[in-house]
């Protein structure tokens, strides 16, 4: 699929970045959402993202050329009828996704790949109403999808190898780093590891071992700075598997093993402390030194710097 027709169903936070990533990669992209008003807003947001990417030198073509490959279509069945690759990024609701895939399956060519960007729902269930579940696959992009390199490519129980290998190659060709998830487990790879970390970090705060600031400092300044170069299993090899075994023997039984959100989290939710969206979570986002816009800008600037360095090193 050197130049595929791509359809993105759902043009919200993730869909617009996914569409943009394919358009920058040279593909024609049709963006779908519930109505033209939402689609026009998404296109405006794509234009502002592109402006930042251009300024940073992350795109070689002009914004106009890139956006000329993007079209808007509120009717999903019409949009997918001529598409080779479809990525669904609608709300995280199983019934809605199942029904959407039933429609996409009926409206598309039988060799079109149908991918879901779900973070937590089983691909097998999403594909359950389709006549061709072998061409349904998970493509879990990370936020922001136009900047984050990794995409998890997830097998459902009936997904065939050809679908996964085609998906891996189209993603590689647009500069992504796909990782194959061979079993349809909840949370795939990244979300499982992230939530193991959130569970333990919450436990450390709840047990009074450290403040949120100090927990985050250690994750960012000790673990994070190294993790870009060495994953946890590379680190295990580097430390020595015998050492890992000895540490695990003593430590694992002391780690948090909650099977539901801890009391501190439940209380925060009950009190409306929802994080950035309510102005207070583990941190104060209204009057404290933290500012949501600044944090997001810093995140994007950091990701842009990494991408630029990687490109420079591969030249
Ligand atoms: N937000 C994240 O950080 C993140 C990260 C990875 C994966 N995901 C997954 O990506 C998917 C989308 O998440 P999001 O954060 O972009 O959500 P969002 O709410 O920002 O966007 C969803 C969009 O889908 C549209 N939509 C809903 N039903 C539709 C339909 N039937 N047809 C066409 N469009 C429809 C909505 O109007 C909305 O614009 C979810 O499955 C989510 O779990 C999200």
* Shortest-distance atom of ligand 1 to CA 96: 31
Spatial strand order of the sheet with 177-181 comes to: 70-72, 28-32, 5-9, 85-88, 113-116, 136-141, 150-155, 177-181
> Dihedral of CA 64/170/142/298: which sign?
negative
| d(CA 8, ligand 1 centre) in Å | 10
| d(CA 306, ligand 1 centre) in Å | 26
CB-CB contact of 39 with 191 (8 Å): no
306's tokens: 């990494």
Pocket test for ligand 1, best of 8, 9, 12 (most atoms within 8 A of CB): 12
CB neighbours of residue 152 within 10 Å? 20
Q: Would the CB of 121 count as within 6 Å of ligand 1?
A: no
Pocket test for ligand 1, best of 89, 100, 144 (most atoms within 8 A of CB): 89
* Shortest-distance atom of ligand 1 to CA 118: 41
284 preceded by a cis bond (ω within 30 of 0): no
| d(CA 129, ligand 1 centre) in Å | 20
What pLDDT does residue 288 have?
64
Pocket test for ligand 1, best of 14, 15, 31 (most atoms within 8 A of CB): 14
Pocket test for ligand 1, best of 90, 119, 154 (most atoms within 8 A of CB): 90
In SS3 terms, the chain reads as: CCCCEEEEECCCHHHHHHHHHHHHCCCEEEEECCCHHHHHHHHHHHHHHHHHHHHCCCCCCCHHHHHCCEEECCCHHHHHCCCCEEEECCCCCHHHHHHHHHHHHHHCCCCCEEEECCCCCCHHHHCCCCCCHHHEEEEEECCCCCCCCEEEEEECCCCCHHHHHHHHHHHHHCCCEEEEECCCCCCCCHHHHHHHHHHHHHHHHHCCCCCHHHHHHHHHHHHHHHHCCCCHHHHHHHHCHHHHHHHHHHHHHHCCCCCCCCHHHHHHHHCCCCEHHHCECCCECCCCCCCHHHHHHHHHHHHHHHHHHHHHHHC
d(CA 311, CA 315): 6
- Which residue CA neighbors atom 12 of ligand 1 most closely? 89
Burial class (CB in 10 A: 0-12, 13-18, 19+), 252: exposed
d(CA 299, CA 159): 35
1: closest CA among 128, 75, 111? 111
Distance of CA 127 to the CA centre of its chain: 20
Residue with tokens 């039984």: 253
Q: Would the CB of 154 count as within 6 Å of ligand 1?
A: no
d(CA 270, CA 44): 36
d(CA 11, CA 82): 19
Q: Would the CB of 145 count as within 6 Å of ligand 1?
A: no
| d(CA 18, ligand 1 centre) in Å | 11
What pLDDT does residue 49 have?
95
Q: Would the CB of 79 count as within 6 Å of ligand 1?
A: no
Q: Would the CB of 11 count as within 6 Å of ligand 1?
A: yes
128's tokens: 């359950």
* Shortest-distance atom of ligand 1 to CA 100: 31
Q: What is the pLDDT along the chain (315 residues), one digit of tens a residue?
A: 668 899 999 999 999 999 999 999 999 999 999 999 999 999 999 999 999 999 999 998 999 999 999 999 999 999 999 999 999 999 999 999 999 999 999 999 999 999 999 999 999 999 999 999 999 999 999 999 999 999 999 999 999 999 999 999 999 999 999 999 999 999 999 999 999 999 999 999 999 999 999 999 999 999 999 998 999 999 999 999 999 999 999 999 999 999 999 999 999 999 999 999 999 999 999 876 678 888 888 899 999 999 988 888 876
Delineate the domains of the chain, giving CATH numbers in brackets: 5-181 (3.40.50.720), 192-314 (1.10.1040.10)
């Amino acid at each position: 699929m050197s130049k595929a027709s791509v359809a993105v169903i759902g043009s919200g936070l993730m869909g617009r970045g996914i569409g943009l990533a394919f358009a920058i990669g040279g593909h024609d992209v049709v963006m779908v959402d519930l109505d033209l008003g939402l689609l026009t807003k998404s296109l405006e947001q794509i234009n502002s993202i592109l402006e930042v990417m251009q300024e940073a030198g992350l795109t070689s073509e002009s914004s106009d050329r890139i956006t000329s490959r993007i079209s808007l279509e509120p009717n999903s069945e019409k949009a997918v009828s001529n598409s080779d690759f479809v990525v669904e990024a609608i709300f995280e609701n199983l019934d809605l996704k199942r029904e959407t895939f039933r429609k996409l399956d009926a409206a598309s060519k039988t060799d079109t790949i149908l991918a879901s960007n779900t973070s937590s729902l089983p691909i097998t269930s999403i594909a359950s109403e389709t006549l061709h579940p072998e061409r349904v696959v998970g493509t879990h992009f990370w936020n922001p999808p136009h900047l984050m390199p990794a995409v998890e490519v997830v097998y459902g129980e009936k997904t065939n190898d050809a679908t996964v290998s085609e998906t891996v190659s189209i993603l590689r060709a647009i500069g992504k780093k796909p990782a194959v998830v061979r079993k349809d487990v909840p949370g795939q790879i990244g979300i499982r590891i992230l939530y193991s970390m959130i569970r333990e970090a919450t436990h450390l705060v709840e047990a009074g071992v450290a403040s949120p600031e100090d927990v985050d400092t250690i994750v960012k300044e000790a673990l994070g700075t190294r993790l870009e170069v060495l994953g946890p299993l590379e680190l295990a090899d580097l430390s020595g598997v015998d050492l890992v075994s000895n540490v695990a023997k003593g430590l694992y039984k002391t780690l948090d093993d909650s099977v539901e959100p801890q009391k501190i989290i439940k209380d925060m939710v009950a009190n409306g402390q929802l994080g950035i969206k309510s102005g207070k979570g583990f941190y104060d986002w209204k009057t404290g030194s933290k500012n949501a816009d600044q944090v997001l800008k810093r995140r994007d600037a950091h990701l842009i710097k990494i991408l630029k360095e990687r490109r420079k090193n591969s030249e």
